[in-house]
Structure formats: C-alpha cells, structure tokens
Amino acid sequence: MRIVIALGGNALLHRGERPDAAVQEANIDRVTTAIAALAQEHEIVITHGNGPQIGLLAVESAADPALSAPYPLHLLGAQTQGMIGSLLARTLHDALPGRRIAALVTHTLVRADDPAFDHPTKFVGQVYPYEVASTLARTRGWHIAADTTGWRRVVPSPAPERILETDTVHELLNSGTLVICAGGGGVPVTADQDTGALTGAEAVIDKDLTAALLAEDLKADFLLILTDVPCVYAGYGTPDQRPVLGATPAELRRGGFPDGSMGPKTEAAARFVEHTGGLAAIGSLDAAYEIVHGRSGTLVRPDLTVA
C-alpha cells in the first residue's frame, strides 16, 4: 500500500518547548519510531509542517542587523525543508538499514491572484501574550491573530495548485525509495503566464492540503494525517466534546472545525477521499501503525451512497 504521511509541525517542536536544535533532535526519535513500523510494510511518502520552525527563522531574520531586509518566507520555507528533511532522513536511515531514503526540496505552484494573499490566516511561530504580539506587529509589520492560548503571527496561505516535483517523487518511489518532500506545504511559487518563469511567494502553504494533493497525484491508497490528539473531536474543548471515530467527507464538513487547527486537516482528508475513493485518517503520531490498521484515530471513508 502507498501511504502519504503528513506530520504536524509540532512533531519536532511541541507547544511550549524551547526551540533549541537539541530539543528537535531528541523529538525526532519519536517520529522515527512511529513511521519505521509502517515503512517495513508499505511504500511511504512523508510530508511535514514547519510552523514553529519557519516562525523561529523569521524572527531571527527580522532581528539580524547584518540584513537590510528580512529573508522572504519562501526562502525560509526552503530552509526548513532542508533542516527537517535532514533530521528525518538521518534517523530513518538508522531505523531502516538498507532502505533508500531521499529528502527532496519541493516547490508548490500557487496562483498570484489567490485572495489568500490579502487575508493572512496561517499561524507561524510561537505564541505570545497580546502585548508582545501587538508590539511585534507594529514594529515588524506583522499580522497577528488569537490562537488557542495566546497570539501568533499569521501569514498568507494560498491554495496549492500543483507540486512541481511530483514526477521526480514518482520515480523515486518506483525505485524503492522512501521520500520526504513537500515540507511546509512546499516552497510557494507563482509562474509567469507567458514564460512560465517561477517567482517565490511571500506565503506558507497549508501542509495538509498539499499532502492531499500530493497523495492524489501519486495515486496513494491512504492519506495519514498525524497530529497531537488521538482523533477528531466534535465540540473540542467543550463539555459536549466527543470523539469522531469514523466519517464521510460530507459528515466531516458538517462538523464546522476551526480553520486554525483541525479545519485544514479534515478538509484535506475529505478532498483526498472524494477525489480518489481511497481512505484517509487523522490521529496521534504515536498511534500511526494502529491508525492504518483501523485500531485508532478518525477514519474518513467514501460515501458509498453517492452515485
């Protein structure tokens, strides 16, 4: 079975942890343990988020007196692909002796006229108290929005149209390679209508929506979205909270899940299942093997009543 795995950005840097390299290197072992068991039995493609990492790099870039201007988000996104890809490739190399593993810097085409560029919604970086966040917004020109426990920077998140290296990923898979790609949703680029020349975009693409597109293009059998909760919950954080263990795409969309957290994950799962007839699931990183085998998480299945 061909499985595309979408790792949450907090897989390497949990909420509230210091953003030290040593912390992320320690957390990578947990990720490797979760994925290695699946990789023994299936073809695996790994994507990953980069919200904490790109936020950290953006803060460092904005504060660097040697720079005349901060690095743009598309270049920072490429840096996070390299860093996280290297960590994953190294640890998977040790966990899967003899397996070919490749980390690929990946570009994702977006529309230059996507309305998302005028309405930033994608959370990046750490959580701040309102006073700190508002000062950063004023001094650095950031947009900020309330997150679950504080305030964070938000940036544009245009819809992914096409992953430019899909054919290369196909070839690597056909040679038996475990591929790490489309990190942080891919480096966002626009294409000139006349020449096709690529230009980096000041944005961060949602990694779950990119993962759904990638899984569809690769003709994957299963899209596995791993996060920090055991499954999708209806009424999350309320007295009426209840687990959703199975759903169709239509049932998920009726759930009204928030854009800043579970919303993109449920939409990505719904799109993949609708477009392919395959299966998707959302659940905890530590239960990855159990999720694929139907013993944990939220399973998203086709609506067989639809003609």
56, 10 Cβ separation under 8 angstroms: no
- Residue 9 is among the residues annotated as catalytic for this protein: yes
> Which listed residue (51, 77, 122, 283) is catalytic?
122
- 10 included as an active-site residue: yes
Alpha helices in 40-156 (DSSP H): 51-63, 73-95, 130-140
Residue 219 bears catalytic tag:
no
CA proximity to 250, closest of 269, 237, 233? 269
Task: Count Cα atoms within 13 angstroms, Cβ side, for 224.
Answer: 32
- b/e per residue 38-50 (b: at least 16 CB within 10 A): bbeebbbbbbbbb
* Catalytic pick among 77, 85, 265, 283: 265
Structure token digits, residue 234: 């209806």
Please name which of 149, 121, 135, 134 lies closest in space to residue 16, comparing C-alpha atoms: 149
Choose, from 9, 51, 278, 297, the residue flagged as catalytic.
9
**265 classed as catalytic:** yes
Question: Order of strands across the sheet with 162-163?
Answer: 162-163, 107-109, 187-191, 198-200
From the list 8, 49, 207, 297, the catalytic residue is 207
What would you report as the CA-atom Rg of the chain, rounded to the nearest whole angstrom? 19
Active site residues: 9-10, 122, 207, 265
